[in-house]
């Protein structure tokens, strides 16, 4: 033992090739974390980043100064995913690379249409492209020529997601430009487009060419997956898509009308019957959102759904939202006609009752995902019958106000359930205790937001005496009787939560924040919260003291934080500056992001209460300037 070489020297003796081989198997966030531990790993990380095939950094939004050293010249880079919230056109040369097969750029509001044209000009081998919120910032613009260069240049493109408003393009040039799209394009997603533009795009044009009998070749002939957000879902839109896209297997249409649709701009029974004309459809989603006004598909009834179900007997997934005139007969037709169905979701099913599931055991269904959100007529009896599907892994019963403890007792028998959403239901603390010895062993996400009958005892009801808990995401928002005592119990339970929502809980105060900041996780003695998301919006007991506990080194993994900005605006601003990688929300926005990946390697428990990812990234800044800024922030936080 006396001849043992110190640990640091051991690292120096390891061949750099072995270190690089091991480190190359990690994701970017993990590489950055490892790089912060010692000089040897730091140097190796810099080398690895020059030949890494995948660069995925969606957990934070880096500035160009932070991104530049992470993205050195790398001819082996094939997949790049970045949150571009702090980037602009000046970053294009670092992001758009010729050898990429996959490029996903989120939150590109400060970019102009130049981003599209540069991608088309440089990324000739691109297979998958996702561009989110392009040019949404005032003063930024996209021209039809930018889209033309994108579609004309990326000739190998197979999947394209343009998650912004494409209705800004001129309609008379729109079809001509899309005719240049890759023949390999099989998946298309658009953030917003008018239904008229889609109809004109997919409708063959006759007689507008030199030869009177000329018929334009079909546009996007190989599309299998189509996801669109439109102004109105209409018969013409559905018919054109169903007729023109002969290979379609996945259709997702959503609208959010700002005025009540007329019959010309609405979906009716005849339009619904046009779906799946070629018999290949596996997934169907038709959602009418209530975002602007309370509006529904008022011209569709049981007959339309009945006839559609007959033509969609092989469908595997169906999501319907806003079909207010469809009754149990229509929904039962889907369950009994579609024998391959495993995903069934209904939103705002105002006439859906327990009878839909009356004889579900007589079917051959094996449902794995069910959502009945805003279906206010269903009761405990529906859930009791529904849980005969023992493979259920996702169950959304939000705003089903008639559900109580009996439903929870039934749900507790589901061995594979991972997500359970019970917002606004009539459950009690006793009902939650039914989950403790059954479903809690598999549950990853639980939401009991707005369940008015719950008290502090709900925490002990869920966690006391249970073992093998997998829970990571817990929503306790809008529970008026929930106090600091409940959060103290939660901290003592040592549950490894990564997301906790406590918004609009008036009795939650500073004690809760201190308990969460100093909680001990697991049996290994890890001290400090591993939360990545904490929503404290409108928790009226929060004071300046709690803001200080949100400062480093507490909550080292935190990426999303919701606060009431009026607590102390100066202190909140100082906290934001001291934690540049923290997404702060002070206006009541719902926190979270769909692109979070729980496998990104940031859940590991280290002995140091510091986020190595932030530490490594911040090393690229001038240390002197950083120290001065920290001193200023400390003074503000203390003042």
Question: What are the phi and psi torsion angles at 43 (to 5°)?
Answer: -65, -40
Is 181:213 a contact under the CB 8 Å cutoff? Answer: no
Q: What is the DSSP letter of 291?
A: S
Cα(257)–Cα(253) distance, rounded to whole angstroms?
Answer: 13
In CATH terms, are 53-184 and 186-204+218-352 the same topology? yes
The widest CA-to-CA distance across the chain, in whole angstroms, is 94
The per-residue DSSP string of 5-36 comes to PPHHHHHHHS-HHHHHHHHTTS-HHHHHHHHT
Nearest to 424 by CA among 464, 468, 372, 465: 372
Nearest to 552 by CA among 535, 526, 577: 577
Structure tokens at 93: 């040369």
Q: Give every CB contact of residue 23 below 8 A, 6+ residues apart in sequence.
A: 31, 34, 41, 44, 45, 48
Q: Is 88 helix (H, G, I), strand (E, B) or coil?
A: coil
What's domain 53-184's architecture? Alpha-Beta Horseshoe (3.80)
Q: What is the DSSP letter of 4?
A: P
Q: For the domain made up of 186-204+218-352, give the CATH fold.
A: 3.80.10
Residue with token string 């439903």: 407
Q: Is 347 helix (H, G, I), strand (E, B) or coil?
A: strand
Q: Is 29 helix (H, G, I), strand (E, B) or coil?
A: helix
How far is Cα of residue 236 from the mean position of the Cα atoms in its chain?
31
Cα(156)–Cα(519) distance, rounded to whole angstroms?
Answer: 51
Three-class secondary structure assignment of 492-556: HHCCCCCEEECCCCCECEHHHHHHHHCCEECCCCEECCCCCEEECCCCCECCHHHHHHCCCCCCC
Cα(429)–Cα(446) distance, rounded to whole angstroms?
Answer: 14
Overall size of the chain counted in residues:
639
Predicted local distance difference test score (pLDDT) of residue 40 = 77
Predicted local distance difference test score (pLDDT) of residue 3 = 47
| Cis before 553? omega within 30 | yes
Question: What are the phi and psi torsion angles at 135 (to 5°)?
Answer: 60, 25
Q: Give every CB contact of residue 95 below 8 A, 6+ residues apart in sequence.
A: 71, 80, 82, 84, 87, 103, 105
β-pairing, 520-521 with 526-527? antiparallel
Domain residue spans of the chain: 15-52, 53-184, 186-204+218-352
Cα(289)–Cα(257) distance, rounded to whole angstroms?
Answer: 8
Cα(185)–Cα(284) distance, rounded to whole angstroms?
Answer: 20
Q: Is 206 helix (H, G, I), strand (E, B) or coil?
A: strand
Is 338:364 a contact under the CB 8 Å cutoff? Answer: no
Q: Could you tell me the CA-to-CA distances from 7 to 1, 40, 73, 348 in Å, in that order? A: 13, 12, 33, 61
Predicted local distance difference test score (pLDDT) of residue 173 = 80
Nearest to 150 by CA among 137, 164, 139: 164
Let me know if 215 is exposed, middle or buried by CB neighbors in 10 A (0-12, 13-18, 19+): exposed
Is 458:429 a contact under the CB 8 Å cutoff? Answer: yes
Is 83:61 a contact under the CB 8 Å cutoff? Answer: yes
HSE, side-chain direction, 13 A CA sphere, residue 556: 21
Claim: this prediction has a pTM higher than 0.85: yes
β-pairing, 533-535 with 560-562? parallel
pLDDT along the chain (639 residues), means of 10: 47 72 77 74 81 89 90 94 95 96 97 97 97 94 95 97 92 86 96 94 60 65 97 97 96 96 96 96 97 95 96 96 97 96 97 96 94 97 96 97 97 96 97 90 95 96 75 96 95 90 96 89 58 93 89 86 79 83 87 45 33 53 46 51
Q: What is the DSSP letter of 228?
A: E
Cα(60)–Cα(86) distance, rounded to whole angstroms?
Answer: 10
The 10 Å Cβ neighbour count of residue 228 is: 21
Residue with token string 């198997």: 25
Three-class secondary structure assignment of 185-202: CCEEEEEEECHHHHHHHH
Cα(560)–Cα(500) distance, rounded to whole angstroms?
Answer: 10
Nearest to 560 by CA among 534, 529, 580, 586: 534
φ/ψ bin of 74: left (φ > 0), alpha (ψ from -120 to 50), beta (otherwise): beta
Cα(466)–Cα(28) distance, rounded to whole angstroms?
Answer: 35
Cα(147)–Cα(113) distance, rounded to whole angstroms?
Answer: 8
Cα(276)–Cα(282) distance, rounded to whole angstroms?
Answer: 9
**Per-residue b/e over 267-290, b at no fewer than 16 CB within 10 Å?**
bbbebbbbbbbeeebbbbbbbbbe
What angle (nearest 5°) sits at the alpha carbon of residue 172, between those of residues 169 and 176? 90
Cα(80)–Cα(69) distance, rounded to whole angstroms?
Answer: 15
**Per-residue b/e over 383-396, b at no fewer than 16 CB within 10 Å?**
bbbbbebeebbbbb
The 10 Å Cβ neighbour count of residue 605 is: 14
């Amino acid at each position: 033992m006396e001849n043992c070489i110190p640990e640091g020297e051991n690292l120096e003796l390891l061949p750099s090739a072995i270190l690089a081989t091991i480190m190359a198997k990690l994701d970017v966030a993990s590489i950055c974390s490892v790089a912060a531990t010692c000089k040897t790993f730091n140097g190796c990380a810099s080398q690895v980043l020059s030949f890494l095939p995948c660069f995925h950094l969606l957990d934070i939004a880096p500035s160009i100064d932070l991104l530049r050293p992470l993205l050195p010249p790398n001819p082996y880079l094939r997949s790049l995913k970045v949150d571009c919230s702090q980037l602009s056109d000046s970053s294009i040369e670092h992001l758009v690379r010729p050898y990429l097969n996959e490029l996903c750029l989120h939150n590109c509001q400060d970019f102009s249409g130049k981003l599209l044209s540069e991608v088309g000009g440089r990324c000739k081998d691109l297979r998958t492209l996702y561009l989110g919120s392009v040019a949404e910032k005032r003063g930024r613009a996209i021209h039809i020529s930018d889209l033309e260069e994108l579609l004309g240049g990326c000739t190998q493109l197979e999947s394209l997601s343009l998650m912004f408003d494409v209705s800004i393009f001129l309609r008379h040039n729109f079809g001509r430009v899309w005719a240049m799209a890759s023949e390999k394009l099989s998946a298309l997603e658009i953030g917003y487009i008018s239904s008229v533009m889609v109809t004109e795009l997919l409708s063959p044009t006759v007689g507008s060419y030199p030869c009177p009998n000329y018929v334009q070749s079909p546009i996007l002939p190989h599309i299998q997956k189509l996801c669109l957000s439109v102004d109105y879902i209409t018969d013409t839109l559905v018919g054109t898509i169903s007729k023109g896209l002969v290979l379609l297997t996945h259709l997702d249409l959503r609208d959010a009308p700002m005025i009540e649709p007329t019959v010309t701009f609405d979906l009716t029974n005849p339009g619904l019957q046009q779906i799946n004309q070629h018999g290949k459809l596996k997934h169907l989603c038709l959602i009418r959102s209530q975002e602007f006004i309370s509006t529904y598909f008022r011209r569709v009834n049981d007959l339309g759904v009945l006839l559609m179900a007959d033509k969609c007997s092989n469908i595997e997934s169906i999501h319907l939202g806003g079909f207010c005139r469809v009754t149990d007969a229509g929904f039962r037709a889907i369950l009994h006609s579609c024998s391959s169905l495993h995903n069934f979701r209904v939103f705002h099913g105002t006439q859906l009752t327990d009878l839909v599931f009356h004889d579900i055991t007589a079917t051959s269904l094996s449902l794995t995902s069910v959502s009945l959100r805003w279906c206010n007529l269903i009761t405990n009896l529906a859930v009791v019958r529904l849980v005969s599907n023992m493979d259920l892994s996702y169950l959304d019963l939000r705003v089903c106000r008639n559900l109580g403890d009996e439903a929870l007792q039934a749900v507790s028998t589901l061995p594979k359930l991972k997500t359970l959403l019970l917002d606004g239901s009539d459950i009690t603390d006793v009902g939650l205790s039914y989950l403790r010895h059954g479903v809690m062993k598999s549950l990853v996400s639980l939401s009991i937001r707005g369940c008015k009958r719950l008290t502090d005892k709900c925490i002990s009801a869920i966690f006391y005496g249970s073992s093998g808990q997998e829970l990571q995401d817990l929503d306790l928002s809008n529970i008026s009787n929930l106090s600091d005592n409940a959060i103290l119990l939660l901290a003592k339970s040592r549950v490894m939560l990564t997301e906790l929502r406590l918004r609009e809980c008036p009795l939650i105060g500073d004690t809760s924040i201190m308990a969460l900041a100093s909680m001990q996780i697991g049996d290994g003695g890890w001290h400090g919260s591993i939360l990545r998301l904490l929503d404290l919006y409108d928790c009226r007991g929060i004071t300046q003291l709690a803001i200080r506990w949100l400062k480093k080194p507490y909550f080292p993994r935190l990426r999303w934080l919701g606060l009431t900005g009026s607590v102390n605006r100066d202190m909140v601003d100082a906290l934001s500056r001291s934690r540049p990688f923290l997404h702060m929300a002070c206006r009541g926005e719902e926190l979270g992001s769909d692109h979070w990946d729980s496998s990104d390697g940031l859940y590991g428990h280290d002995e140091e209460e510091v986020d190595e990812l932030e530490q490594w990234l911040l090393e690229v800044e001038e240390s002197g300037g950083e120290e001065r800024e920290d001193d200023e922030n400390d003074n503000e936080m203390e003042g």
